[in-house]
Structure 1
Amino acid sequence: MFDTEKTTASAWFRQLRDQIVTAFEAFEDSHDTGPFSDASPGRFEVKETTRQSEDGSDAGGGLMSVMRDGRVFEKVGVNVSTVYGTLGARAQQAMAARKGIPGMTEDPRFWASGISLVAHMQNPHVPAVHMNTRMFWTPHAWWFGGGSDLNPCIEYDEDTAHFHSTQKTHLDPHGPGHYPRLKEWADEYFYIPHRKRARGVGGIFMDDYCTGDWAADFVLTQDIGRAFLPAFLPLVEKRRVQGFSDADKNTQLVHRGLYAEYNLVYDRGTKFGLETGHDPDAVLMSLPPMAKWV
C-alpha cells in the first residue's frame, strides 16, 4: 500500500535537489565582481548517507551535498533522504502524543522522504535561508510537511516582500486561504521562546498536513518546493555584490547564533533525525560554519 506514492514523492524530492544544486553552482560561476569574486567558484561535495536500524540492518539513506567557502555561499547543504524502519519507544510516544495516532505501539513502522536545505552566505547583505519538504507514512496515517523561511541578519523590507509575494503566488492556486494560514504557521514554528523573537522574517510552513487527498496534498507540497528558487535567487543576485563592513560581518555572526540555538533546541527535524539513527553529519548540516554569541 502506498508504494507508488512513496516512489513518486521520493523521486520529486531528488529532482528538486538536482535543480537547486545546479542553480547554486551557476551562481558561483557567474559571481565575477564584488566581494569574494576573486575566490574559486564553490562546488558541492556529495556523500551518500545511510541509516541503520537498531539490529544493524539497512534502513535507507540519501545524499548529503555540501558546498563550503564558495564565492557566494559560505556553507550550503542540500540533503535528500528516504528512510524507513520502526520507530523507537521515545519516537513512538512523541508521535502518539503530538499527532494523536493510535496503534503506533502495536505497529511502529514508518517511512519518510524529503529534501532539506540551509544556506549561510558569504556576504552579510545576502540573507540566509532554509527550505524543506517531506512526506511521512505509517500504517496508520500519512502526511506532508515543510516550507521555507528567510533569515537575514540585515533586513531589507523589499527583500522580505519579494520572498513572501513569490510564495503567495505559488500557493494561491490551491485556494486563497493557504498562504495566510501557512505564513502564520511559519511565524509560530520559527519562533525562539527563550529569546522572545522570531529567528528571521518568516515564510511558509506546514506540518502533519493531510486532507485525505494524497494527489492534491502532493501538488501543494511540490509548489512549496517550486516557490523556493524564484523567491530566493533574485535576492542573492541583488545583494551579493554589495560591500560590507566588519560591523556587518559581526552582525551576521551574532544572528547565526540564533539560528544555531533554534535548530539545536527546538527544530523537530533535528530531533527526529538524531532519535531515529540517521547520519548525524547530515542531520546537523544546518548549523553555520561560524557563529558568535555576545
Structure 2
Amino acid sequence: MTASFQDEKDRASGWFRSLRDDIVAAFEGLEDSHVDGPLSDMAAGRFDISNTTRTSDDGSDAGGGVMSVMRGGRVFEKVGVNISTVYGTLGERAQKAMAARGVPGMADDPRFWASGISLVAHMQNPHAPAVHMNTRMFWTPGAWWFGGGSDLNPCIEYADDTSHFHATQQQYLDPHGTEIYPKLKQWADEYFYIPHRKRARGVGGIFMDDRNTGDWEVDFALTQDIGRAFLPAYQPLVEKRRNQVWTETDKDAQLVHRGLYAEYNLVYDRGTKFGLETGHDANAVLMSLPPMAKWI
C-alpha cells in the first residue's frame, strides 16, 4: 500500500459517487411510479444538481463535491444526496478534537483528506419514514479510517418497518462477521440519542466511526456493504407507505418529530460540526435539515 494512499482514496471517492448515482436514480424512480394515492397528481420530483467548493484559508483549492437536492416531489418533500472530497489542513479546533480522539500524529501534522456520501430524506407522507445514511473515508498522514451507517426516523412507527430495516442491514453485515451487526446497532442506539430530550431520534440502525482494523480492503468492503444495504432496507418501506391517507394529526406529529431531528443535527451531529468547522459549503452541510418543522 502506497504511503500516500492515492489509489485507495480514488477507489473510495469513486465508490461514493457510484452509490450516489444509484440512489438518485432509485428515488427518481419512486417519484415516477407514484401514480396513485396522495399528491400523485403533482409533477414527479427531480434532483437539482450543483457543485460545491471548499477553499483553504489562503484561498487555494481544498476540494468540493456535488449536492443533489429534490424539493416538493410527489413522494419526497425534501431529499438530499451529497458527495464530497475535501482536503487541506484542519483548523485548530478540529485538530484538537481529532487529537483528543486519539488520531495518531494529529497533534503534530494537521493535514487531512476526507471523502463520503451523505443522505437525508424527509417525506411528504407522514406514514413514510424519514431516513439518514452516510459513509465516509478519512485520511491523515498518521492514520486512515472509515465511518458511517444508516438509521430510520419515522414519526409514526410501524414494528414491521423497523424489523425489515434492521433485518436487511444484518443480512448485508453478517458476511463480515456475525459480531459486527450487533456492535454497530448498539453504537447507533447510543450515537443517535438526544440527551436533552432523553430519547432516541428514531428507531435506530447501524453506525460506526474510526474503523481501522489494519486491513484497508476489509474495512472498505464493510463500508461498501453498509452502502449497498441502504436501498433494499429503505425503498420497500416507501413503496408500502406512500399511498396511505394521512390526517392533520399525522402531519402535526411529523412536524414535531422533525423538530427533534433538527435539534440533534445542530447540537450533536459530529459530521455537521466537522463540515462547518472545516469551511465546507454551509448549504451542503445543512442539507439534512427538514423543510418544515414544529416545536411544541
TM-score when scaled to structure 2?
Answer: 0.98
Aligned to 1:29: 32
Q: After the TM superposition, which residues 69-218 of structure 1 pair with which residues of structure 2 at under 5 Å, given as runs?
A: 69-98=72-101, 100-218=102-220
From 226, 243, 246, the equivalent of 2:245 is 243
| 1:292 aligned partner | 294
Alpha-carbon distance, 1:135 to partner: 0.2
Q: Could you tell me how far 1:133 is from its partner in structure 2?
A: 0.1
The separation in 1 between residues aligned to 2:106 and 2:38, in whole angstroms, is 53
Pairwise CA distance, 1:101:
2.3
1:3 counterpart (3, 6, 9): 6
Which residue of the partner structure matches residue 68 of structure 1?
A: 71
CA distance in 2, matches of 1:135, 1:103: 17
Is contact 2:69-2:78 (8 Å) kept?
yes
The Cα of 1:105 is off from its aligned counterpart by: 3.3
Q: In 1, Cα distance between the equivalents of 2:263 and 2:48?
A: 26
For 2:205, what is the secondary structure of its paired residue? Answer: strand
Matching residue's letter, 1:21: V
CA distance in 2, matches of 1:23, 1:277: 31
Structure 1 residues 126-178: Cα deviation after superposition (integer angstroms, max 9, x where no partner): 00000000000000110000000000000000000000000000000001101
In the alignment, structure 1 segments of 5+ residues that lack a partner are: none
User: In structure 1, the residue corresponding to 2:295 is in which secondary structure?
Assistant: coil
Please report how far the alpha carbon of residue 104 of structure 1 lies from its aligned counterpart in structure 2 after TM superposition.
1.8
CA distance in 2, matches of 1:53, 1:189: 30
Letter of the structure 1 residue corresponding to residue 172 of structure 2: H
Aligned mates of 1:164, 1:288 — CA distance in 2: 24
Partner of 1:45: 48
- In 2, the alpha carbon distance for the partners of 1:217 and 1:209 equals 7
| Structure 2 counterpart SS, 1:130 | strand
Measure the CA separation in 1 of the matches of 2:108 and 2:191. 30
After superposition, give the CA deviation of every residue in 1:68-94 in whole Å (9 maximum; x if it has no partner).
Answer: 000000000000000000001111100
Identity of aligned residues (%): 78
**Structure 1 residue 102: Cα displacement:** 3.9
Residue type of the alignment partner of 1:90:
R
Between the aligned partners of 1:82 and 1:152, the Cα distance in structure 2 is 30
1:107 CA drift (Å): 1.3
Report the 3-state secondary structure (helix = DSSP H, G, I; strand = E; otherwise coil) of the residue aligned with 2:237: helix
Count, aligned residues: 293
2:171 alignment partner AA: T
What are the within-5 Å matches in structure 2 for residues 269-280 of structure 1?
A: 269-280=271-282
Q: What does residue 259 of structure 2 align with?
A: 257
Secondary structure in structure 2 of the residue aligned to 1:32 = coil
After superposition, give the CA deviation of every residue in 1:245-268 in whole Å (9 maximum; x if it has no partner). 000000000000000000000000
Is 1:224 equivalent to 2:226 in the alignment? yes
User: Which amino acid counterpart does residue 270 of structure 1 have in structure 2?
Assistant: T
TM-score (norm 1): 0.99
The CA deviation string for residues 108-139 of structure 1, in whole angstroms up to 9 with x for no partner, is: 10000000000000000000000000000000
Corresponding letter in the other structure for 2:195: P
- Checking the alignment, whether the CA contact within 8 Å between 2:104 and 2:143 is kept in structure 1 is no
Preserved CA contact (<8 Å) 2:131 2:150: yes
